[in-house]
């Protein structure tokens, strides 16, 4: 790290306050059941529009860090994960609460999340820049292949069918084509609407699809059981820390692996680490019955992912989760493009991101304890009050972008689209990736054809592009094979068994 740059940013910008504000916002948002890390980030995204780039990026990244810890609070206290990645914490965390050990479970979650975040940040700092230099050998054909790979991996790994994932990605790319042609400069699909001449901002799609659709879904959900007793966090003792080392190490390794894997995410890392911690535990029979190791492993994993998932984003500009897609939207809002050029032309943004993340991680220990009463209070609020507050926050944030009523109407339309997608079982991430990567895929494809005078064989003359496109095909074929295998297995189970006479 450049310590001179860190000192300058710390004394001349709002970097440190932004990191702490983002952390607090993330913890509170993560503690609200159903308001995931990506939604918490998307709610704040419009308000970062007028900030300095480094301050805005640090604030959004800190929200991600805070939300991953905040999601464990309702998971332990009311058996309802605040974020998807906290679902594995419910298994043993709530059992500890039933045994009167809620404070101990929350302390283990906080300590494990702190260690996981530190390990993830270390991997982020050491691995990102070396990997980004691989992108220097990329040509337009390579970037086209990289974009196709990102879309195909996310579509094939999304829940539901491959067809639904690819359909969502195509819809996202269609949205990305609205506005000026990247080569000819002519306007497309604007339908005479002046607000569409500059294209559609990804932030409008993200907020509508993530946040508004969630409000629509939760409007019909039952109220949660409130908490009456007072809860205090108790950090683990030294003996307990030694006991948890194995499960925390497993969680860190799984978090690193899943953070580097497109489509992995915190929830997969949490469940994998939970299963492996049980496999390697000296007392596996205690898992599911209030085991501290069953809380430590998934919490270490999902907090590690909050940092390691930024590695493919910063290195290649490819987000691998909903939250990093929102963060990429923050980069694009400020005219920043992740990759090797970011390290050359905007090195202070990367340095500020590393330092701001460290401030948020250190502050996580303190604010995790201070904010617990506020999180408990939020959990006890009636859903209509919270929904009204979040809706007002969304509308005010969107209006501050460009003071446009058209943008508000567009976000409402995206909210309806997201609601219909949820009901029909279509994944969100391929749609969002189609929006944010659509311009890169189209412009790279068009530039390649300009260089080759329309000859598509140029894609076969680039070894990197060939490798990336073959990998995309392999992911799609594997997903199809898995679907057919699962379908055949389900049919065999559903078939009536023959009885002998």
Half-sphere exposure of 496 (CA within 13 A, CB side): 3
Dihedral of alpha carbons 292, 293, 298, 299, sign? positive
Element (H, E) at 134: none
Instruction: Round to whole Å and give the CA distance between 156 and 317.
Output: 19
Q: State the pLDDT at residue 265.
A: 64
Q: Which residues contact 262 (CB under 8 A, 6 or more apart)?
A: 150, 153, 154, 157, 312, 318, 320
pLDDT of residue 501: 44
pLDDT above 50: residue 499: no
What residue ranges do the domains of the chain occupy?
A: 3-487
- Please state, for a pLDDT cut of 90, what percent of the chain lies above it: 19
Q: Over 60: is that where the pLDDT of 2 sits? A: yes
Extract the tokens encoding 280. 């390697």
Nearest alpha carbon to residue 307 among 39, 73, 122: 122
Residue 433 has pLDDT above 90, yes or no: no
Task: Say if residue 280 is exposed, middle or buried (CB neighbours under 10 Å; 0-12, 13-18, 19+).
Answer: middle
CA dihedral 308, 314, 315, 319 (to 10 degrees): 70
CA torsion sign, 132 to 134 to 139 to 141?
A: negative
Closest CA relative to residue 86, chosen from 27, 144, 139, 128: 27
Take residue 377 and report the two structure tokens written for it: 């209070």
The more confidently predicted of residues 22 and 169 is 22
Query: Looking at residue 500, what is its pLDDT?
Result: 45
Q: At residue 224, does pLDDT exceed 70?
A: no
Confidence of residue 478 (pLDDT cuts 50, 70, 90): confident
pTM above 0.95, yes or no: no
Q: Model confidence over 91-136: pLDDT tens digits?
A: 888 888 888 888 899 999 999 999 999 999 999 999 887 877 776 6
Give the pLDDT band (50/70/90) at residue 263: low
């Amino acid at each position: 790290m450049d310590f001179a740059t860190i000192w300058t940013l710390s004394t001349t910008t709002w970097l440190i306050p932004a990191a702490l504000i983002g952390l607090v916002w993330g913890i509170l948002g993560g503690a609200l059941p159903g308001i995931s890390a990506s939604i918490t980030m998307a709610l704040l995204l419009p308000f970062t529009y007028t900030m300095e780039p480094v301050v805005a990026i640090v604030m959004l990244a800190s929200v991600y860090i805070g939300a991953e810890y905040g999601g464990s609070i309702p998971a332990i206290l009311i058996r309802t994960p605040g974020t998807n990645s906290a679902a594995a914490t419910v298994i043993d965390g709530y059992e500890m609460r039933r045994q009167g050990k809620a404070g101990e479970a929350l302390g283990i979650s906080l300590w494990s999340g702190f260690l996981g975040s530190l390990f993830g940040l270390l991997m982020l700092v050491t691995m990102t820049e070396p990997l980004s230099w691989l992108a220097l050998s990329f040509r337009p054909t390579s970037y086209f292949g990289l974009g196709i790979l990102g879309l195909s991996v996310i579509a094939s790994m999304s829940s539901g069918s491959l067809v639904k994932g690819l359909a969502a990605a195509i819809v996202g790319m269609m949205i990305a084509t609205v506005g000026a042609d990247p080569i000819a400069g002519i306007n497309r699909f604007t339908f005479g609407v002046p607000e569409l001449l500059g294209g559609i901002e990804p932030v409008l799609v993200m907020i509508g699809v993530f946040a508004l659709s969630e409000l629509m879904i939760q409007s019909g959900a039952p109220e949660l059981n409130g908490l009456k007793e007072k809860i205090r966090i108790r950090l683990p003792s030294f003996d307990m820390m030694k006991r948890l080392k194995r499960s925390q190490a497993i969680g860190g390794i799984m978090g690193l692996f899943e953070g580097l894997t497109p489509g992995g995410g915190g929830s997969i890392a949490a469940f994998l680490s939970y299963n492996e911690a049980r496999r390697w535990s000296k007392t596996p029979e205690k898992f599911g019955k209030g085991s501290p190791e069953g809380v430590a492993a998934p919490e270490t994993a999902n907090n590690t992912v909050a940092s390691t998932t930024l590695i493919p984003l910063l290195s290649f500009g490819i987000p691998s989760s909903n939250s990093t897609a929102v963060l990429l939207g923050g980069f694009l809002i400020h005219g920043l493009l992740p990759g090797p050029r970011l390290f050359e032309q905007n090195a202070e943004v990367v340095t500020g991101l590393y330092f701001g993340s460290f401030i948020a991680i250190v502050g996580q220990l303190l604010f995790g304890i201070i904010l617990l009463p506020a999180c408990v209070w939020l959990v006890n609020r009636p859903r209509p009050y919270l929904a009204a507050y979040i809706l007002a926050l969304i509308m005010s944030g969107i209006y501050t972008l460009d003071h446009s009523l058209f943008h508000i109407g567009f976000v409402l339309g995206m909210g309806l689209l997201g609601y219909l997608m949820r009901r029909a079982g279509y994944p969100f991430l391929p749609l969002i990736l189609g929006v944010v990567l659509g311009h890169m895929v189209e412009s790279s494809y068009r530039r390649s054809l300009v260089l080759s005078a329309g000859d598509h064989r140029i894609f076969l003359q680039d070894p990197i592009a060939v490798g990336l496109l073959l990998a995309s095909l392999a992911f799609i074929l594997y997903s199809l094979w898995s679907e057919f295998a699962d379908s055949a297995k389900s049919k065999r189970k559903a078939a009536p068994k023959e009885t002998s006479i």
